[in-house]
């Protein structure tokens, strides 16, 4: 069933639909179509082929999220949206030299929770 039809079906019955797009940690579905916005994980000084949460170091991430949330705002016209931001495993971010550099250049120290 189309999402817009579900929303309308619920609206007609007095049901409020509040979407949740749990980022940056639970972005596996996004990775299927946009793997370039996920953080490459490292073992030592080399990428290990795994990916982690959304990559905060690249403009592609912010461009994607801008487009994504604009589309969501059109589809879900409710004033509420749940963004998640919890349950992020920081290991991949900690392993990635670009993320560590980003943390330092933004005066975040080693507070990876600030990236959520």
Active site residues: 87
Closest among 44, 28, 15 to 88, alpha carbons compared: 28
Cβ-based burial of 94 (10 A; exposed 0-12, middle 13-18, buried ≥19): middle
Place of tokens 């120290």: 109
CB 23 within 8 A of CB 84: yes
SS3 45: coil
Task: Show the beta-strand stretches assigned E in 1-116.
Answer: 38-43, 46-54
- The C-alpha atoms of residue 75 and residue 77 are separated, in whole angstroms, by 6
């Amino acid at each position: 069933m189309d999402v817009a039809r579900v929303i309308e079906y619920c609206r007609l019955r007095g049901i409020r639909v509040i979407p949740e797009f749990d980022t940056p940690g639970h972005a596996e579905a996004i990775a299927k179509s946009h793997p370039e916005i996920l953080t490459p994980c490292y073992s030592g000084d080399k990428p290990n082929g795994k990916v982690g949460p959304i990559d905060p170091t690249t403009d592609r991430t912010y461009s994607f999220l801008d487009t994504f949330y604009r589309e969501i705002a059109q589809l879900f016209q409710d004033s509420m949206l749940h963004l998640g931001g919890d349950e992020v495993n920081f290991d991949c971010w900690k392993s990635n030299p670009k993320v560590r550099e980003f943390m330092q250049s933004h005066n975040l120290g080693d507070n990876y929770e600030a990236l959520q």
